[in-house]
Amino acid sequence: MTEPVQIEFCANDAEALARARGRVAVLADAGAALTPLGRKLDRLMRGALARAVASEAFAALKPGESLELGFPAGMEAQAVQVVRLPRKATQAEARKAGAGIGRSLSPLATLVLAEGHPQAAEIAFGLALRAYDFTPHKTAPASQPGPVRVMVSAPEKTAAAARAGAAVAEGVFFARDLVNEPANVLTTYDFAARLAAMQDLGLEVEILEEDALQKLGMGALLGVGMGSETPSKVVVMQWNGGPKGEAPFALVGKGVVFDTGGISIKPAAGMEEMTMDMGGAAVVAGVMRTLALRGAKANVVGLVGLVENMPDGRAQRPGDVVRSMKGDTIEVINTDAEGRLVLADVLWYAQERFKPSGMIDLATLTGAIIIALGHENTGVFSNDDALCDAFLRAAKAEGEGAWRMPMGPAYDAKLKSRIADMMNVGGRDGGAITAAQFLQRFVKPEVPWCHLDIAGTALLKSDSTLAPKGATGWGVMALDRLIRDRFEVK
């Protein structure tokens, strides 16, 4: 997997500034005095830093933004990046500042002068997230960033504070890598193998093959993959870090490694992006990796349904009727509404086997949620106000956009089938809501549940603050925060 850049926290050392190679980033704020290392840097640069901080251009910057001074006099460094960041900066501003540094790391070295800033660990976290670069399929040698050092007043204390963030960053990178991989590489075989390898981290990983899924009665999930040469699988990942015997919290992910739409085939334009239709499963995997890396004191089980939706002589047809593990029958009106069929069986299996204390599923489920919320927010649907509110607080705390959407019995009428218990689609209007209503039929009333439709947030066509163009890993940070705040043993 893509490894996060390694960051070393070291003690403040004014004498090292002149010989620092590559890039130097210094924190400052308009109207505020320079820090001790900033004053040393200014003397080396013959007053250029002070003039830059006093300029109108610097004053116009928002917290976290920066300007650059190239080839500073009196230094070996090629550039000094002057980052505007108040001492009382918010977490989001600190991460943005770090991301601005991480976007342009030097192949020689990068030195960050954080000194006694209280958000130094968050600056490092933002730097690590934005430095992500997915390059395994490029033949030209990728330029790797040189060593990154962050000068701070208390290196050991700051390193300890940054440790949990480093685990989250690795989980985010794992999720991004999975979403960015092409489907000829990330088959259901390869996906399952990558998850099985996490046994080395202490996770218990079990792979259920098609014969086991047939015995369990997962007709809804198996129907989706009938047209593919790669077999459908369910992977179960358990992290038992909480009290023995305590019911786990369950995360369930849609893992459609490629979605042509099946017989209800999608238009050719843009179909290449359907390599990301396993984004929900990627986030579940990223969260489970994070929990293992940081030794979370909670019991959590992650389940992902891995399938490929292809057109073929054996493929599922519109008008077919499948029977779910629950026993309900489903009339397949549109084979491109396949994710909910996968989730239906995995959700039911999770409840039957693990009796979870609560459950959240994630899926790149509907284009309708993009029409409703764009690419800024994930759609959140829930049967439980307490769990939903806790998740929304966690998402807000981590800066991951999420918005609660309505549900209600009136939408169920749109799923009524003439020949089966339900249809898998309910028409274009309210499409994201009827998809959630469909899933709710496979959630037991006593189980607190949220459905996260990440179709608009899993993959972006332009850079975001903490990620380059492509996979975002949205949800790893919010779900890790939810588990830390709500389910871990204190």
pLDDT in tens, 252-265: 999 999 999 999 99
What would the mean pLDDT of 209-228 be, rounded to a whole number?
98
The confidence score (pLDDT) of residue 423 equals 98
Read off the pLDDT band of 356 (50, 70, 90). very high
Read off the pLDDT band of 65 (50, 70, 90). very high
> If you average pLDDT over every residue of the chain, what do you get?
97
Question: Which residues lie closer than 8 Å to 332 by C-beta, 6 or more apart?
Answer: 223, 316, 317, 318, 319, 320, 321, 322, 341, 424
Whether 190 has a pLDDT exceeding 80, the answer reads yes
The confidence score (pLDDT) of residue 322 equals 98
Q: Is the dihedral of CA 213, 217, 223, 224 positive or negative?
A: negative
For the chain, percent of residues with pLDDT exceeding 70 = 100
Whether 455 has a pLDDT exceeding 80, the answer reads yes
User: What's the 3-state SS for 92-122?
Assistant: HHHHHHHHHHHCCCCCCCEEEEEECCCCHHH
What would the mean pLDDT of 198-212 be, rounded to a whole number?
98
The confidence score (pLDDT) of residue 287 equals 98
pLDDT in tens, 376-432: 999 999 999 999 999 999 999 999 999 999 999 999 999 999 999 999 999 999 999
Residue 442, helix vs strand vs coil: coil
The confidence score (pLDDT) of residue 85 equals 98
How many Å separate Cα 356 from the centre of its chain?
23
pLDDT in tens, 289-316: 999 999 999 999 999 999 999 999 999 9
Whether 123 has a pLDDT exceeding 80, the answer reads yes
The confidence score (pLDDT) of residue 269 equals 95
From residue 263, alpha-carbon distances to 227, 253, 267, 342, 480 in Å are 9, 23, 12, 17, 38
Which residues are designated catalytic? 266, 340
Read off the pLDDT band of 198 (50, 70, 90). very high
The confidence score (pLDDT) of residue 13 equals 97
Q: How far apart are CA 117 and CA 120, in angstroms?
A: 6
Question: Which residues lie closer than 8 Å to 193 by C-beta, 6 or more apart?
Answer: none
Read off the pLDDT band of 141 (50, 70, 90). confident
Whether 490 has a pLDDT exceeding 80, the answer reads no
Whether 44 has a pLDDT exceeding 90, the answer reads yes
- Which residue carries 């730097």 as its tokens? 127
Whether 140 has a pLDDT exceeding 90, the answer reads no
Q: How far apart are CA 53 and CA 59, in angstroms?
A: 7
Whether 489 has a pLDDT exceeding 90, the answer reads no
Read off the pLDDT band of 143 (50, 70, 90). confident
Whether 284 has a pLDDT exceeding 80, the answer reads yes
Q: Which of 225, 424, 401 is nearest to 310 (CA)?
A: 225
Taking the complete model, does pTM exceed 0.95, yes or no?
A: yes
- Buried/exposed code over 247-267 (b: 16+ C-beta within 10 A; e: otherwise): ebbbbbbbbbbbbbbbbbeee
Read off the pLDDT band of 14 (50, 70, 90). very high
The confidence score (pLDDT) of residue 357 equals 98
Domains of the chain and CATH, by start: 7-153 (3.40.220.10), 169-487 (3.40.630.10)
The confidence score (pLDDT) of residue 75 equals 96
Token duo for residue 430: 């309210």
For residues 160 and 291, the answer to whether their CB atoms sit within 8 Å is no
What would the mean pLDDT of 25-49 be, rounded to a whole number?
97
Read off the pLDDT band of 225 (50, 70, 90). very high
